[in-house]
Amino acid sequence: MTKINLKIRPRRLRKNELIRSMFQETYLSPAQFISPIFIHDGSSPEVKINSMPGIFQFSLDRALKYIEELKENKINSVILFGIPDSKDNTATSGWENDGIIQKANRKIKEHFPDILLINDTCLCEYMDHGHCGIVMEKEILNDPTLEIIQKTALSQAESGADIIAPSGMIDGMVSAIRSVLDDNGFQDKAIMSYAVKYASSFYGPFREAAQSTPQFGDRRSYQMNPANKREAIREALLDEKEGADIIMIKPALPYLDIISEVKSKVNLPIAAYNVSGEYSMVKAASEKGWIDEDKVVLEMLTGIKRAGADVIISYFAKDILKLLKKFY
């Protein structure tokens, strides 16, 4: 056998667990995670979401218990989605004082004043047609929708939200929210903009969870074309200019290149949403015995972080502490 003289051997730094750990480049921490919570306006403590094993719509009292469980697992940030008991064509239940999210904000802050409370500021859950804006003759109207978004954001801020998270991809939504918050004394309320939200097929399970399936058409006239990258940069830079404090990319896994690209272009923290379809695929494959769920989840979330996400919204958030203890 011919003698091979290799001076450069990368495997030297992968030889054992100690040296691999020493040179690990990307780390996860529970502090980087936000847990979504679905809260309904009924009396049932838990309503099963068939397409998302282990995830439920909670009553407000049960949601409080779930937040206790999250805090025990070092998760101190949540984003709320409301399922109202009534809907109309102006999203009234999304911005009225006794709306489900407004009641939840007050109750959560009463019990957990130190929780970081984020509100999804979209209208689809509260519209009887399931779209994210005012509709006229099956067209989603941009500017009239901004007025409803302002009402919703202000009511969320007044009831205790720390961060407002507009998700409808309506032009000017960040500017409109920043203006109404500042004009009403909420200059310190942050905005986490769903600046780059693709018209994705990965949202299917969420629409069951939030009961927000459009009653006609789809959302491609306001959510982004999955084929576009430059448009994502434009949207992110625009929202940064309008006053966003955090830029979000949604979904996460099919758009790791977008996370990386946006990270290099804006001077704001980057959030990524590990969405319902990504969650459900892992759960389904795990139930079939095709994958090791814990290892896959940790690898998946590490990949999102490595791509450039500073924070991750994930239905796996509650599990992250357990996974870190198990593997590190």
Query: Are the C-beta atoms of 77 and 318 separated by less than 8 Å?
Result: no
- Judge whether residue 209 has pLDDT over 90: no
For tokens 């896994």, what's the residue? 253
The per-residue pLDDT for range 171-182, each reduced to its tens digit, is 999 999 999 999
Reported as a single tens digit per residue, the pLDDT across 35-44 is 999 999 988 9
Q: Is the pLDDT of residue 1 over 70?
A: no
- Fold of the CATH domain 29-327: TIM Barrel (3.20.20)
**How far is residue 45's CA from residue 146's CA, in Å, rounded to a whole number?**
34
| Whether the predicted pLDDT of 230 surpasses 70 | yes
pLDDT class of 140 with cuts at 50, 70, 90? confident
pLDDT of residue 46: 95
Model confidence at 216, in pLDDT bands (50, 70, 90)? low
- Cα 224 from Cα 254, distance rounded (Å): 13
| Per-residue confidence band for 130, with pLDDT thresholds at 50, 70 and 90 | low
Q: Which of 189, 197, 283, 305 is catalytic?
A: 197
What are the residue ranges spanned by the domains of the chain?
Answer: 29-327
Residue 213 has pLDDT above 80, yes or no: no
Decide: 108 and 100 in contact? Cβ < 8 Å: no
**Does the pTM exceed 0.85?**
yes
Burial class (CB in 10 A: 0-12, 13-18, 19+), 291: middle
H-run or E-run covering 120: strand 116-121
DSSP conformation letters of 198-247: B--GGGHHHHHHHT---SSS-STTTSBPTT-SHHHHHHHHHHHHHT-SEE
- Provide, rounded to the nearest whole percent, the portion of the chain with pLDDT above 90: 79
250 a catalytic residue: yes
Quick check: 311 pLDDT over 70?
A: yes
Question: For 48-74, what is the mean pLDDT?
Answer: 96
Q: Which of 87, 189, 250, 283 is catalytic?
A: 250
Q: What is the pLDDT of residues 155-165, one digit of tens each?
A: 999 999 999 99
Total H helices, total E strands in the chain: 12, 12
Average of pLDDT values for 279-303?
A: 98
Cα–Cα distance, 158 to 97 (Å, whole number): 9
Average pLDDT over the chain reads 93
Q: What is the DSSP letter of 13?
A: G
- 211 versus 164: the higher-pLDDT residue is 164
Q: Residue 217 — very low, low, confident or very high, per pLDDT cuts 50/70/90?
A: low
What distance lies between CA 181 and its chain's CA centroid?
A: 21
Residue 236 CB neighbour total at 10 angstroms: 25
Residue 320 has pLDDT above 90, yes or no: yes
